[in-house]
């Protein structure tokens, strides 16, 4: 776990290749990244009270990314979220909007678009 108080980007995706590529992209742009394969792993390692952004896969084993967000307490709900998905649909997009998700991106994710969304999220955090 990163001990610095610099902003951190949490990446949660069950696909190892996706996590690895996102981590490489974000670290190449000077960002601190922690990646997890499930929302349960994130919950065990999440550090409230610091600047952060969550990049969250829509489809995860167990609860979906949106189900995870819906169950979070107020502290976690303040974490800006960017949803990424390979199988988005209008109902999921609408639910994400209701939950306050900052962006809803389709895989493969365009690097510059993701970076812009993260910068916006960190400004809000």
SS (H, E, C) 21-84: HHHHHHHHCCCEEEEECCHHHHHHHCCCCCCEEEEEECCCCCCCHHHHHHHCCHHHHCCCEEEE
Q: Measuring CA to CA, which residue among 64, 57, 70 is closest to residue 97? A: 70
Assign residue 49 a region (left: φ > 0; alpha: ψ between -120 and 50; beta: otherwise).
left
Kindly report, residue by residue over 30-48, the tens digit of the pLDDT: 999 999 999 999 989 988 8
What mean pLDDT, rounded, does the chain reach?
90
Q: What is the pLDDT of residue 1?
A: 47
How would you write the pLDDT of the chain (125 residues) with one tens digit per residue?
445 588 999 999 999 999 999 999 999 999 999 999 999 999 899 888 888 999 999 999 888 899 999 988 654 567 899 999 998 899 999 999 999 999 999 999 999 999 999 999 998 86
CA distance 59 to 78: 21
Kindly report, residue by residue over 100-117, the tens digit of the pLDDT: 999 999 999 999 999 999
For a pLDDT cut of 90, what percent of the chain falls above it? 71
Domains and CATH numbers, the chain: 53-117+120-124 (3.40.50.2300)
Alpha-carbon distances, residue 109 vs 5, 41, 57, 70, 86 (angstroms): 27, 23, 11, 24, 9
In the DSSP assignment, the letter for residue 111 is H
């Amino acid at each position: 776990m990163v001990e610095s108080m610099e902003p951190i980007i949490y990446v949660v995706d069950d696909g190892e290749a996706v996590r690895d590529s996102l981590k490489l992209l974000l670290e190449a742009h000077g960002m601190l990244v922690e990646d997890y394969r499930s929302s349960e792993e994130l919950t065990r390692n999440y550090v409230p009270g610091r600047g952060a952004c969550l990049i969250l896969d829509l489809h995860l084993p167990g609860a979906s990314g949106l189900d995870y967000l819906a169950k979070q307490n107020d502290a976690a709900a303040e974490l800006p979220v960017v949803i990424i998905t390979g199988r988005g649909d209008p109902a999921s997009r609408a639910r994400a909007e209701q939950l306050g998700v900052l962006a809803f991106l389709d895989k493969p994710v365009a690097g510059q678009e993701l970076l812009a969304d993260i910068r916006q999220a960190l400004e809000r955090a």
